[in-house]
Amino acid sequence: MSAMIEAGDGTRAARFELSFATTREEILETQKLRYRVFAQEMGAQIDGGAEGIDHDQFDRYCRHLMVRDTLTGQVIACTRILTDDMAPNAGGFYSAGEFDLSMIDSLPGRVMEIGRTCVDAEYRGGAAIATLWQGIASYITSHGYDYLFGCASIGLEDGGASAHAILGTLREKYMAPERQQVRPFIPLPAADARVTEKPKMPPLLKAYVNLGAKACGEAYWDRDFNCADVFMLLNVSDLNPRYARHFLGKSAPSEQPAVLNA
């Protein structure tokens, strides 16, 4: 799937190509992007090895969705999808390492998780994350999933002040009912200071709430990534109609999966 989309700075149009990784080399490209964003930019404690990659035991069981700028040839956004039929092979969902996910078992229908979502710093104007969500939405509907969930991160560079302010907004406007809430294994501690002005939601979290997803309780304190992780749940039947029309009218990305053996 390709589309001409205006870049975030408004100065040029980048041709974004959306596809699943079909080779080990393409998966490696997404892992290198993840390392640049999470480790080099955000300061996450990741042992990337000589290649400078972010990888874990879940990667081999996931579908890796990526956005490429065909003008430069670079992968500039990516996420990974772990489905309910593959999660048992991976030892469970990634989010189960941060939250008690007992609630997920009670949901009627099929579920899938997205994770390790990131966008190159030069492409965060909105178009890249929107293109990524087009692929996610197409995958959800074409494969008959009823729920999508994952963690949306909020940075703690300011001591947690912005995170707590954003969490306050989520509690007020976007909180799931108690029966659909999860418990973080390490709750976010109190902030060192208070914000002086209303902070902006990170792009991934904003995309979740715009689509109609709900926050499922308090955030997890991810000390390795220096962020607060918010567990977000989207009931596909609750998709915001305006965003559903935008995303689901697009073509699905190539379905040929890659195989990762290491």
Query: What is the mean pLDDT of each successive set of 10 residues along the chain, which is 262 residues long?
Result: 46 73 97 95 87 95 97 96 97 97 95 96 88 90 94 93 96 96 96 84 91 96 94 89 60 50 36
Residue 99: which residues within 8 A CB-CB, separation 6 or more?
A: 182, 183, 184, 185, 216, 220, 231
What is the reported pLDDT for 100? Answer: 98
Does some domain include residue 123?
A: yes
What is the reported pLDDT for 255? Answer: 54
**CA–CA dist 16, 4 (Å, integer):** 7
Does some domain include residue 261?
A: no
Please count the other Cβ atoms lying within 10 Å of the Cβ belonging to residue 95.
22
**What DSSP letter does each residue of 50-67 carry, written as one string?**
TTT----TTGGGSEEEEE
Give Rg (Cα) of the chain.
Answer: 18
Number of domains making up the chain: 1
60-69 pLDDT tens trace:
999 999 999 9
Please count the other Cβ atoms lying within 10 Å of the Cβ belonging to residue 122.
15
**pTM for this entry:** 0.87
Does some domain include residue 99?
A: yes
What is the reported pLDDT for 261? Answer: 39
Q: For residue 75, report the phi and psi dihedrals to the nearest 5 degrees.
A: -75, 120
Does some domain include residue 126?
A: yes
Does some domain include residue 259?
A: no
What is the reported pLDDT for 201? Answer: 94
Does some domain include residue 29?
A: yes
- Buried b / exposed e over 157-190, threshold 16 CB at 10 Å, is eeebbbbbbbbebbeeebbbeeebbbbbeeebee
Report the run of H or E that residue 37 belongs to, with start and end.
none
Which residue range forms the structural domain that includes residue 95? 2-248
Does some domain include residue 253?
A: no
Identify the three-state secondary structure at position 234: strand
What is the reported pLDDT for 50? Answer: 80
Does some domain include residue 260?
A: no
CB 64 within 8 A of CB 21: yes
In single-letter form, the type of residue at position 1 comes to M
CATH number of the domain that residue 112 is part of: 3.40.630.30
